[in-house]
Amino acid sequence: MSAPLTTAAGVKHRIGSWFGRGEIEAPADIESAALRSDRFRLEREGDWRRLEDIVVAMEKGGTRRITDEDLLALPTLYRTAASSLSVARETTLDAATLTYLESLVQRAWFQVYGPRKGLFGWLREFFLGGWSRAVREIWLDVCIALFVMVAGALVGWLLVLQNTDWYYRLVPTNLSDGRVPGASRDVLLETIEVENETAGLSVFAAYLFSINAGVCILAFALGFAFGIPSLLLLIHNMAMLGAMVWLFASAGLGWEFGAWLSVHGTTELFGILLSGAAGLHIGRSMAFPGERSILDAASESGRRGAVVMVGVVLMMVVAAMLEAFPRQLVEGAASRYLIGGAFLLFWIAYFFVYQPQRAEDGQ
């Protein structure tokens, strides 16, 4: 319909039409989309605003600043906003509404499902049940890793027993420190005697921690290849230990070497056992994911293994301190066995006897 000439707009329209510059009317489909977007936003805007007010109040002061009615309505409002966001993405509504909803849903998610624990709360839960629970949850992998470690030590012993050349293949030169086949009993005994001075032991402890932690982290990290590299690493390390045990036992110093090793070995070997088991746990879950996808299985086992590994790193710190100080300064096989045995009992009791109730289970 042409605009009447009696009005200013009509005159402008008519003059513009003479030069081909009349007002361009929006196509029907664009106008319809705009109306649909406005209607969508207006119908739900009240819930979005209420959710935003609740989220802002919780961000400022937690749940103390909101009423019971708002607290009960929070999950429903969050799901409504998430549903609105899904619809907005599918129907390509205006960018401003989409940006607002994405920000609102993300903030609400942290308030509904986000972690509520601080660092101290996490540490408290970790030491008072979380760590030991994670270890018990991978008990099958711990048993497999223990079997592999014992088998590796026997293999190392038997290989050197058959041919002493295997000793030099299994034990690196930088770790032998005079402990080689053919060395006299006195020379071997001297390598496991106490130190006369404490200078440099702190540096020695840091050096030992870096080596032990590296072995444990490597055993865990290689687990993604279905756990096979982790098991091979355990076999290699234990074969080296088996070779050294053979060396001292053949010289009649098996008891003394066991005492020297037990001071730190009960903690260090326990940590290596757990790290290998954690790596195997990831690899085994990837090989046999069950009804889960491989990524979901790896993610779940990875989170459990990560908890175990946090504790293993702490065990390596303890092992390094024991290896640098009590092992070097405490004299007498009985005293050394007492220290090593006490730590072994402590770890066994903590992981398998101490089983506190999970906080959420007690509710």
Angle at 336 between CA 331 and CA 341, to 5 degrees: 170
- Residue 23 in domain: no
Q: Are residues 128 and 218 in the same domain?
A: yes
Half-sphere CA count of 314, side-chain side, radius 13 A: 11
Answer with the one of 87, 114, 141 that is the final residue of a domain: 114
Q: Are residues 89 and 208 in the same domain?
A: no
Q: Are residues 81 and 189 in the same domain?
A: no
Q: Are residues 184 and 230 in the same domain?
A: yes
Q: Are residues 110 and 126 in the same domain?
A: no
- Residue 8 in domain: no
- Residue 157 in domain: yes
Answer with the one of 114, 131, 162 that is the final residue of a domain: 114
Residue 219 CA to residue 202 CA, distance in Å, equals 26
DSSP letters of 45-57? HHHHHHHHHHHHH
Q: Looking at residue 117, what is its pLDDT?
A: 67
Question: What pLDDT, in 10s, does the model give residues 45-70?
Answer: 888 888 888 888 887 766 667 788 88
Amino acid sitting at position 232: L
Assign residue 26 a region (left: φ > 0; alpha: ψ between -120 and 50; beta: otherwise): beta
Q: Looking at residue 115, what is its pLDDT?
A: 63
Q: Are residues 149 and 225 in the same domain?
A: yes
Amino acid sitting at position 336: R
Q: Looking at residue 28, what is its pLDDT?
A: 56
Q: Are residues 234 and 329 in the same domain?
A: yes
Q: Are residues 80 and 193 in the same domain?
A: no
Q: How far is CA 108 from CA 40, 53, 77, 180, in A?
A: 20, 11, 9, 65
Phi, psi of 104, rounded to the nearest 5 degrees: -65, -45
Q: Under DSSP, is residue 67 helix (H, G, I), strand (E, B) or coil?
A: coil
Q: Under DSSP, is residue 156 helix (H, G, I), strand (E, B) or coil?
A: helix
Angle between helices 68-91 and 95-113 (to 10 degrees): 140
Residue 6 CA to residue 31 CA, distance in Å, equals 28
- Residue 177 in domain: yes
Q: Are residues 344 and 256 in the same domain?
A: yes
Q: Is the pLDDT of residue 3 over 50?
A: no
Q: Are residues 195 and 326 in the same domain?
A: yes
Q: Looking at residue 2, what is its pLDDT?
A: 43
Mean per-residue pLDDT of the chain: 82
Q: Is the pLDDT of residue 10 over 80?
A: no
- Residue 359 in domain: no
Residue 288 CA to residue 278 CA, distance in Å, equals 15
Residue 103 CA to residue 95 CA, distance in Å, equals 12
Q: What is the pTM of this model?
A: 0.69
CATH code for the domain of 74: 1.20.58
Q: Are residues 263 and 325 in the same domain?
A: yes
How many domains is the chain partitioned into structurally?
A: 2
Q: How confident is the model at residue 99 (pLDDT cuts 50, 70, 90)?
A: confident
- Residue 54 in domain: yes
Given a contact cutoff of 8 angstroms between Cβ atoms, the answer to whether 328 and 201 are in contact is yes
- Residue 57 in domain: yes
Q: Are residues 271 and 179 in the same domain?
A: yes
- Residue 158 in domain: yes
Range of the domain at 289: 122-353
Answer with the one of 114, 142, 176 that is the final residue of a domain: 114
